[in-house]
Amino acid sequence: MFDMEKTIVVALGGNAILAKDASYEAQKVAINRTAKSLARLVRKGNRLVITHGNGPQVGNLLLQQLAADSSSNPALPLDTLGAMTQGSIGYWLANSLANELTDIKPSIATVITQTEVSSDDQAFNDPTKPIGPFYSESEVAQLRQGNPNFQYKDDSGRGWRRVVPSPQPIRIREIDTIKKLVNNQVIVIAGGGGGIPVTYRNGQLVGVEGVIDKDLTSAKLAEQLQADELLILTSVDHVFLNYRKSNQIELDNLGIEDAEVLISNGELGAGSMLPKVMAAKSFVEKRPHARAIITSLDNLSQNSDEQIDGTIISNVSTGKVL
C-alpha cells in the first residue's frame, strides 16, 4: 500500500464519462481515459473521493423507462433512476481504476449517496432543471394528462422539456461512512449526479423528484470530509473573463472576493462555469486553508498534481477581477 498525502475530492465533468456516443462501449473508453489521469493522483499518495455527473445517463434511462411504461411495469421515479446510474457509473469507474492500478491494488468502493435537502427550499416552487427529451406543445398536453404533477417549460425555442427542482445540498447522509473508508485508504466514488435528493416528510426520510448540482454537492462533500483540495474537472483549462471573445483572459488565481465578483456580475454561464465557481468559493470559505482548482481533464493528465495548470481558488484575493 502507499503513504497518504492529501485528501482530494475530484469532481468529474460530463466529458470524463460521455462524449457524443451514448453506447456502453464509448462510455467505457471515456472512463478508461479518465482513470489513467486519476491514477496519477493515486500514485502520488493522495486520498481520493471521486464524484461525477450522470445527466445523460439519467436522461437515457428515463427514455427507456418511459418507452416500457405500463400498468404492469410502471416507470420508476427520478430518485431511483439517480441511484441506478450512481451504481452503474460507480461500477465502471471502480473497474477502470482497478485495471489501471494493478501495481498498487487499492481498495475501491462506490457509495450510493443521498444528499439531504430542505423541503422548504424555494427550488420546489420553481423547477428549473430540464431533464429528458424535447417535446412539441401538443405532446406536452398529452403528457400532462397522464402525469398532471409534472411541469414542462419551453427550452429556448427548441421545444418543451420536463423540468424538476434543483435544491441546495444541506449535507451528505453517508459522510461518516465515506470518512471511515477514506481513513482506511479506500478510494471512494460517491455523490454521483449530485446525490439522490432526500428530505424529511412527516418524520420520514423520503426521496424527492429533483436534481442537485453535482459541483455544489462535491463542495459540500469536500467540506464535510475536511478535504485539503477540491478539484473540479471540466472541458476547459481555466475560468475566463470575456469567454470566447476577442478580449478573453484566462484567470490563474482567484480569491474569495474575486469569485464573488464573477458570480454577481453575470460574467459566468449559469449552466456551465457559474456553479463550478460557486462550489469552489463555498468550499474555500468553509475550509480557508484549503484550495479549489478548476481545470480540464487534459490538464490533469499532462501535469503533476503539485503543478496543475488551471484556475486556483483560495482565501487570498488577487484583485484581478476587482
CATH number at residue 75: 3.40.1160.10
In a domain? residue 56: yes
Catalytic: which of 6, 15, 36, 207?
A: 15
Question: Is the residue at 249 inside a domain?
Answer: yes
Higher pLDDT, 157 or 284: 284
Half-sphere exposure of residue 91, counting CA atoms within 13 Å on the CB side? 6
Domain span at 32: 7-117+172-314
* Rounded Cα distance, 12 and 226, in Å: 19
Residue 91 CA: distances (Å) to CA of 37, 65, 83, 107, 111: 17, 21, 12, 13, 10
Q: Which residue has the higher pLDDT, 95 or 143?
A: 95
**293 falls within a domain:** yes
The verdict on whether 179 is a catalytic residue reads no
What are 121's strand-pairing partners?
none
Question: Measuring CA to CA, which residue among 46, 191, 1 is closest to residue 110?
Answer: 191
Q: Is the confidence at residue 17, as pLDDT, over 70?
A: yes
| Burial profile 78-88: b = 16 or more Cβ within 10 angstroms, e = fewer | bbebbbbbbeb
Spatial separation of the C-alpha atoms in residues 154 and 37, rounded to whole Å: 39
Indicate which residue of 90, 255, 276, 310 is catalytic. 276
Question: Which residues partner with 135 through β-bridges?
Answer: 160
- Position 307 scores a pLDDT of 65
User: Which pLDDT score is estimated for 247?
Assistant: 85
- In a domain? residue 227: yes
Q: What are the tens digits of pLDDT across the range 218-274?
A: 999 999 999 999 999 998 899 988 888 888 888 989 999 989 988 888 878 666 789
Position 305 scores a pLDDT of 47
Taking the C-alpha atoms of residue 37 and residue 96, their distance in angstroms, rounded to an integer, is 11
Split into its structural domains, the chain has a count of 1
Task: Count the neighbouring beta carbons within 10 Å of the beta carbon of residue 59.
Answer: 18
Asked if 14 is an active-site residue, the reply is yes
Provide mean pLDDT across the span 189-214: 96
Distance CA 115, CA 174 (A): 8
Annotated catalytic, 245?
no
- For residue 120, count other CB atoms closer than 10 A to its CB: 9
Lowest model confidence (mean pLDDT) among 98-102, 125-129, 195-199: 125-129
Report residue 80's pLDDT band, with 50, 70 and 90 as the boundaries: very high
Q: Where is pLDDT greater, at 203 or 157?
A: 203
Q: Which residues contact 178 (CB under 8 A, 6 or more apart)?
A: 49, 111, 172, 188, 190, 221, 225
pLDDT at 176 over 70: yes
Mean pLDDT of 210-216: 96
Amino acid at 194: G
Q: Which residue among the candidates 82, 132, 192, 214 is catalytic per the annotation?
A: 214
180: annotated active-site residue: no
pLDDT of residue 208: 95
Which residue is catalytic, options 55, 129, 132, 194? 129
Q: Is 320 a catalytic residue?
A: no
Q: Identify whether 294 is part of a domain.
A: yes
Q: Tens digits of per-residue pLDDT, 49-73?
A: 999 999 888 988 988 998 898 899 9
DSSP annotation of 168 reads P
The span from the CA of 161 to the CA of 152, in Å, is 5
- Residue 79 in domain: yes
Domain annotation covers residue 125 = no
The confidence score (pLDDT) of residue 281 equals 96
Cα(171)–Cα(86) distance, integer angstroms: 18
Identify the active-site residue in 14, 28, 32, 315: 14
- The pLDDT of residue 18 is 74
Beta bridge partners of 58: none
Terminal-to-terminal C-alpha distance of the chain: 46
The answer to the question of residue 155 being in a domain is no
